[in-house]
Chain A
Amino acid sequence: MTSEPVQQRPNPTGDAHYDHPHSRRGFFTDTSICIGCKACEVACKEWNRNPADGDYEILGSSYDNTGALGADTWRHVAFIEQDRERIEEARESGRKLVDLGMPQVGPPQERGVADGAASSSATHTPDTPEFRWLMSSDVCKHCTNAGCLDVCPTGALFRTEYGTVVVQEDICNGCGTCVAGCPFGVIERREDGLVSTPAGREMPDTVKKPQNGVAQKCTLCYDRMKDDETPACAKTCPTTSIKYGEREDMLAAAHERVAQLHEQGMTEARLYGANPDDGVGGTGSIFLLLDEPEVYGLPPDPRVPTADLAHTFKRAGVAMAGMALATATAFMVGGRR
């Protein structure tokens, strides 16, 4: 497999005028070692005191009962059951990505093989299993070119000194413009900020968090980050499927892991969000997937609506007026509920 150097792009904090910008932080979610335990969902809710989702009913999607990322669920684990035919298709499509020159990094690493893997378990094309059960923990992508941030009329959404994208709850007026601005469908306004139970009991005061109507999404635990703590989901993850660190390191780890899997014959492995030339300029949260993104409910070619705005504006100022009008309308109609 050919390897190309990782293409580095400037840290988006670079031009955000921070006195003390940090290196850009991000997640690397390696779905190939996810065991679907959902500890990330719980740890996230507990830290951020987010309400439980839904009506306590089986959703009809394997073991997934929270459905999707939204105002209350900032980490979401998807479960996908696949048969052999589908696995072979995934393997083939992954192989094609490599043939097309998907960026890879570094030489194949010396790994556990050295520590005496049995001869018969050496790393070559594995048998295609009859069946597999994919699990993947999704999260806000913290895009390089963040649609939500670009369209936010109030400045509630901002780029932190760590290069992440965070909603400021005290500024957000609930206009909802950002909801349409996110190509991943991540950000959402919260309907009700209280955890309730069928018996009508509310959470005790320590856990209440009423924020009706305010836009909500993963902050990459901005508050924890300020104290040098690992985000709650990454800290709790039993198998280190969720890794957290400097985005460059995450990117390198992701490339190394995908190369390792390909070497083991798992050509279905591919990265998501690692390409700086995609429609959002790459993401802060990188994923290693074992099938096409659509299989996991991820857009195959996400494009931030404002991606080409700057470029466009220079050519056609008309667009600016249109955009401003649209956003202003949303702002006035939205308001606080």
Chain B
Amino acid sequence: MARFSFLEWPVVRQLRTADSTARSSATVSEHTRELTSRNATADRVVQSVCPYCAVGCGQKVYVKDEKVIQIEGDPDSPISRGRLCPKGAASEQLVNAPGRQYEVLYRAPRAKDWQKLDLEQAVEMVADRFLEARRNKWQDADDKGRRLNRTMGIAALGGATLDNEENYLIKKLFTAAGAIQIENQARI
């Protein structure tokens, strides 16, 4: 608790000094004096782009101790001039969200809940299932004998929130695997 001095009581102070409207620099605490912008403490600032809508507003990401401490608009962007909407302004919370998932989870057939699963093992399991589904629903040709070279056993949905490079690898891998049922939000 702060030390209480009757003489520093604003009402008294304003009578004691010439400060007719009760204002004084004398009350400034050490903490207040040393106060500084959190941004100024960042180890680095990285240019990024807002992940929500397609306007493409510029963002600056402030990083300290390998943690994101702030995300705000990039005034240099000719698209957004440093401004962000409520979603863009919440980007830091998106990264540090209280409900964000950090672990791989697995739900077995008929199971009532999740169980934890090792990341490596999980990807390996998906790879096995991918190949099995591909094999099970493979089509070499249609009923007229025309080439199809495809599998109907695997489908994907998503991409509008992903990077071009990611979509490129997904389309490339799926096409090479003969999986054609691939869709994203552009159609929704």
Does A touch B (CB under 8 Å) in the complex? yes
**Which residues of A are at the interface with B, using a C-beta cutoff of 8 A?**
12-13, 15-19, 37-39, 41-43, 46-47, 144-145, 149-156, 158-159, 161, 166, 168-173, 195, 197, 199, 201-204, 206-207, 222-224, 226-227, 229, 232, 235-238, 281, 306, 309-310, 313, 320, 323-324, 327, 331, 336
Inter-chain pairs besides A206-B96, A281-B21, 15 sampled, C-beta below 8 Å: A12-B23, A15-B20, A17-B26, A47-B70, A150-B11, A151-B11, A155-B10, A155-B26, A158-B23, A168-B28, A170-B29, A206-B67, A206-B68, A236-B72, A320-B11
A219 to B72, CA, bound (A): 18
A173 to chain B: which residues have CB within 8 Å?
1-2
B155 to chain A: which residues have CB within 8 Å?
none
Is B86 in contact with A149, judged by CB distance below 8 angstroms?
A: no
Known: A223-B37, A226-B36, A320-B15. A235 touches B72 (CB 8 A): yes
A159 to B87, CA, bound (A): 33
B4 to chain A: which residues have CB within 8 Å?
153-154, 331
A173 to chain B, nearest CB (A): 5
B31 to chain A: which residues have CB within 8 Å?
168-170
Would you give 28 A-B contacts (Cβ < 8 Å), ordered by A? A15-B21, A17-B25, A43-B89, A46-B93, A150-B11, A150-B14, A150-B21, A151-B10, A153-B4, A155-B2, A159-B23, A159-B25, A168-B27, A168-B28, A169-B31, A170-B31, A171-B2, A197-B99, A207-B93, A224-B39, A226-B37, A229-B39, A235-B83, A236-B84, A236-B88, A310-B15, A323-B11, A331-B4
**Which residues of B are at the interface with A, using a C-beta cutoff of 8 A?**
1-2, 4, 8-12, 14-15, 18-29, 31-32, 35-40, 67-70, 72-73, 82-90, 92-93, 96, 98-99
B70 to chain A: which residues have CB within 8 Å?
46-47
- Chain B minimum-CB-distance residue to A150: B22
- Chain A at the B interface: SS class: loop
Most buried by A among B14, B25, B36, B38: B25
Known: A203-B96, A206-B67, A223-B35. A327 touches B11 (CB 8 A): yes
A46 to B9, CA, bound (A): 33
Most buried by B among A13, A144, A155, A313: A155
A277 to B102, CA, bound (A): 57
Known: A226-B37, A236-B84. A310 touches B20 (CB 8 A): yes
Is B85 in contact with A39, judged by CB distance below 8 angstroms?
A: yes
* Minimum-distance CB pairs A-B, first 10: A155-B27, A159-B23, A227-B37, A16-B23, A43-B89, A42-B89, A201-B98, A42-B86, A171-B2, A170-B31
Is B39 in contact with A207, judged by CB distance below 8 angstroms?
A: no
Is B24 in contact with A158, judged by CB distance below 8 angstroms?
A: yes
B92 to chain A: which residues have CB within 8 Å?
46
Query: Which single member of A154, A195, A232 contacts B2 (CB below 8 Å)?
Result: A154
A217 to chain B, nearest CB (A): 15
A59 to B86, CA, bound (A): 19
Is A310 in contact with B2, judged by CB distance below 8 angstroms?
A: no
Query: Which single member of B10, B18, B67 contacts A149 (CB below 8 Å)?
Result: B10
- Chain B minimum-CB-distance residue to A323: B11
A206 to chain B: which residues have CB within 8 Å?
67-69, 96
Is A238 in contact with B23, judged by CB distance below 8 angstroms?
A: no
